[in-house]
């Protein structure tokens, strides 16, 4: 038996899907021309075309016309508008999906493709729901709604994941190798790990160097014994292996009366930065 006057509840599923994911505008100092081309295209196609199309679609889904009898003139007029809107959204999805990611955006591109594929699937489901004959049982209506909500929530989560990674990728694409180096001071003492008399370079931020802002991943450094002409003793350390910042680096086995030098450079995802000045100290 058909249930007369059964209202469709698809509006709830539509509202579960956010207005697309806002992303940063075109990056300002990309390290590679391909990155600038890609982020510019994303700004044009995603922010400039896709998001407005989604906004227009969601505005239509809030119209009370969708709750009318499907054979009514007002519903048919609304249906024509919603179908045209869905076409614009799917067309903009195809345009964004056709972009080839540049080197800096490979990580976010994988998430973008999944996000767009499921967004397109969501649009297909909603179009079918709007255009099909009304559901005749409460059970069927509940099942359809549950399916729509599940897909809408998945698309929302995927979009948020992509937006987060895209922002990270853009930040890296705008990075340059550090143009400055950290500061350091010398102290002496016994290295608790080796029990040897040691010279410590105590590394700190300064007014032109900030480890976090420069997204430093590690450091390279060199010790010198005697003078600049001596063969340097190289070393590396990763930020993930530094328990605290500031941190100290030790040269073990120093002797009284000896002269020792040190310099350091920071490394971020773009590459190695400039060396600090080479500083020497004489052990009393």
% of residues, the chain, pLDDT over 90: 61
Chain segment 215-254, per-residue pLDDT in tens:
899 999 999 998 888 999 999 999 999 888 899 999 999 9
Which of 154, 173, 192 is the last residue before a domain boundary?
173
Sheet of 247-252, strand order? 183-190, 197-204, 247-252
Lookup: tokens for 83 = 């179908």
For residue 210, the domain's CATH number is 2.60.40.10
> Are 15 and 125 within one domain?
yes
Q: Rounded to the nearest 5 degrees, what angle is found at the Cα of 132, between the Cα atoms of 128 and 133?
A: 160
5 located within any domain: no
Question: pLDDT band at residue 9, thresholds of 50, 70 and 90?
Answer: very low
- Residue 275's contacts (CB-CB under 8 Å, 6 or more residues apart) are 181, 263, 264, 265
Query: What is the model's pTM?
Result: 0.64
**pLDDT over 90 at 52, yes or no:** yes
- The residue behind tokens 């599940």 is 150
Nearest CA-CA partner of 281 in 199, 203, 209: 199
272 located within any domain: yes
> Are 50 and 155 within one domain?
yes
Question: pLDDT band at residue 195, thresholds of 50, 70 and 90?
Answer: confident
Domain that holds residue 274: 183-282
168, 250 contact by CB (below 8 A): no
Stretch 53-70: mean pLDDT, rounded? 90
> Are 146 and 187 within one domain?
no
3 located within any domain: no
Tally of domains in the chain: 2
């Amino acid at each position: 038996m058909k249930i007369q006057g059964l209202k469709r509840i698809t509006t709830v599923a539509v509202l579960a899907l956010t207005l697309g994911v806002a992303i940063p505008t075109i990056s300002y100092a990309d390290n590679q021309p391909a990155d600038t081309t890609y982020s510019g295209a994303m700004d044009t196609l995603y922010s400039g075309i896709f998001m407005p199309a989604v906004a227009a679609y969601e505005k239509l889904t809030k119209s009370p016309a969708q709750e009318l009898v499907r054979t009514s003139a007002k519903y048919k007029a609304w249906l024509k508008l919603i179908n045209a809107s869905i076409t614009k959204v799917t067309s903009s999805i195809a345009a964004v999906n056709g972009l080839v990611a540049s080197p800096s955006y490979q990580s976010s591109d994988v998430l973008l493709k999944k996000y767009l594929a499921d967004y397109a699937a969501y649009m297909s489901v909603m179009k079918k729901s709007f255009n099909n004959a009304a559901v005749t049982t409460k059970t069927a209506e509940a099942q359809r709604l549950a399916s729509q909500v599940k897909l809408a929530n998945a698309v929302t989560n995927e979009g948020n994941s992509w937006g987060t990674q895209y922002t990270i990728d853009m930040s890296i694409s705008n990075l340059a190798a550090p143009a400055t180096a950290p500061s350091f001071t010398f102290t002496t003492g016994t290295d608790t790990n080796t029990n040897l008399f040691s010279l410590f370079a105590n590394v700190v931020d300064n007014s032109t160097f900030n480890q976090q802002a420069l997204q430093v991943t590690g450091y390279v450094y060199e010790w010198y014994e005697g003078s600049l002409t001596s063969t340097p003793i190289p070393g590396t350390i990763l930020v993930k292996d530094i328990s605290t910042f500031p941190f100290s680096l030790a040269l073990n086995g120093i002797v009284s009366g000896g002269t020792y030098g040190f310099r350091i450079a920071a490394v971020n995802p773009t590459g190695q930065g400039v060396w600090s000045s080479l500083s020497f100290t004489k052990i009393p």
